[in-house]
Each structure stands twice: as structure tokens, then as C-alpha cells.
A and B are shown apart, each in its own frame.
Chain A
Amino acid sequence: MQRTQLQPSRWHNQLWYQANPARLLMERKAVESRFPQFALVRDGEQLVWMGKLTTNRGEVYEIALYYPDDFPISPPRVFPIVPTITSWKNEAAGELKHQYADGALCLYDPKDRTFNQNSTAATVIAVAAAWLFAYETWLDSGEWPGLEAD
């Protein structure tokens, strides 16, 4: 039976953008070139992109994109700010449709690994824009366009 032979290790508690400033630069370039209306701000130690998206129907949504502590291993999380969006799947049971319990938009199926670690926040904002289009279609027709995980 093989047994573990411990190797030198280092458990550091740096934030992702301290440990990897080149990645932060890449994130800035990607978002500022594709979504210049977004601004990078800090919420405590977390970095957040804040900005507005306008849908084909002319509705304006302000969203906040939060980088997780373990970015880019985990994808950023996107929250609608104005207007508040609560897409009930089953209001009585408190279940949201394509939103997490804390209101974050469900943009990726965690099982299919569609979020690639090379994806930048610009890609996530684009996916959020597609989510808003689907949301408006669902409000109008009751049908969520595209594949649904649940």
C-alpha cells in the first residue's frame, strides 16, 4: 500500500489580484475595451465591476460583478442591482429560476465546466447580457430560451 510522503508546501493568504497582478491587468484591459461603461471598484477586499447593460428592448440594468477569492478557479458572480430581479420558479417554496438564493445570476452549469479559467470578466458580462435577454423573453412568453439545467 502506497503512503503519502509529504513535500514542501506553502499556504499563503494573498488575494488573487495580489498573487497574480498580471491577471488583474488582463481583466482590466478586457473589460475596459469591451464594456467601457463599467468601473472597477473595491468592496472591502473584493474587486467588483459595476456598470449598466441595455437590452434589445431598451431596458437598462445595473449589475455588479464580484470576483471570488479563488478567481480564476471559480467564476465571478453577477448580481442585479437596479432593478432588483427576483425570477421566481416557485415563490411558495422560495425557489428562484436561474438565480442563486442570494440573488446571483446562474450563468454557468457548475457540472459542465463552461467557465474556463482563461475567461475574463468581459466574457462573464457578455453572458450576463444574454441572461438578461433570456429573462425578458421569459417575462414576455413564460419560456426561457435555450437549454435549462433544471
Chain B
Amino acid sequence: MAMPDHVYIARNDAYERIVAEALRVPEHETGGILVGRMFCTNSANVLVVAAASGPGKPAPAYADMYVPDTLARQRELEIWRAMFAPHRLDYVGEWHTHPAIHPRPSYGDTCQVNAIFADTAYQLPDGIFTPIVIVEHGSCRLHGFYYPRETRHPTAVECTVIDSAIEPLMRHLATLDEGK
């Protein structure tokens, strides 16, 4: 099963939305879904995150828990799928914020990931990308973590924010993708 060697995150539709949402409620946990695709090439496995959502408007806010609005996020997932239809994007994971002293996935996060892996409603054959976002002194840091389905352990993964349009990158990676 594939573990990404690298994660590329689109600046406009993913990273900037994450930062804006994280800074909106720095005292509460918040988060959202990540929409993208894993490309498995000869030389590397590359996860591209094309878009990110927020938690959905009615999501209740807690200091130590993020409970997203499922329907709002599903609607957003459908919009991104349609927008990037040729690229066959789907849900690839979930970002959420933590206090600065907890820059890694928690025990509770791992329990939630295990529940997702056990649920056939999720199409995550390789694993799930679960970056942790820390808000500190008015700025954000994103720590990339990926749970391979095989090990179910949060594993640090390098992330790069892509300033240019993400579609040419996905087109190029698709030509190299052995799974097509």
C-alpha cells in the first residue's frame, strides 16, 4: 500500500482556506476535509491536495474537539469533485487544528482514523492524510501526517504548498501514474 513520499498542497483552494479558517477561531479546534488524489509513479508516490473545506457553518466549537458538519462537508466534496472531474479527485483526508503543545495526531485522532478505515463508506485504499495545524502568535504551521492503512500509525510526511495552478501538475502526474 502506498505511503506518499511527498504531499503537494494547492495554495489558493487548499492552503489559504486552511489558514483562514484556523485563524478565524484560534482558541477552538477547527478543521475540514481535504480533496485530492494519490499518484503512484515509478519514482515516487505523490499526494496532491487540490482543495480543502472548513468545518461547515453549524459545527459546534470546542477547545479540545472538532466535530464537523457532515452534510455541509459532503456538499463541498461534491462541488470539488465536479470542478476537478477529469482528475478523479476524492476525499483524501482531514485537517484540523491543535494547541501548539500538541503538534501531532492525538490518541483520539487515531481512534477516529481507525473508525474511518473500518467504514466502507470511505474510499481510502492507501491511507489518510491528517495534517495538524498549529496557530501560534497569529500565524499557522501545518504539520503533515499520513496514516497508511497498513500500519495505522501517524507518519510525518513532507508537504509543499504549490503557488501555481494545480491542474497542470495533476495532468503531468496522471501520465506517470502506473495505476492510471
Contacts and interface: CB of A to CB of B under 8 A. Distances in A.
Contacts of B104: 69-70
Interface in A77-113: none
**Chain B interface helix/strand/loop/mixed:** mixed
Interface stretch (B5-13, B38-46, B66-74, B169-177): B66-74
A57 interface: no
B152 A73 contact: yes
B141 to A, nearest CB: 16
Interface string A60-77: 000000000111011000
Contact of A10 (B67, B121, B122, B153): B67
A2 B98 CA distance: 32
B129 to A, nearest CB: 13
B153 A74 contact: yes
Interface residues of B, number: 41
Contacts of A20: 107
Interface of B: 29, 31, 33, 64-68, 70, 73-74, 77, 81, 88, 90-91, 94, 96, 98-99, 101-102, 104-112, 115-116, 119, 121-124, 152-154
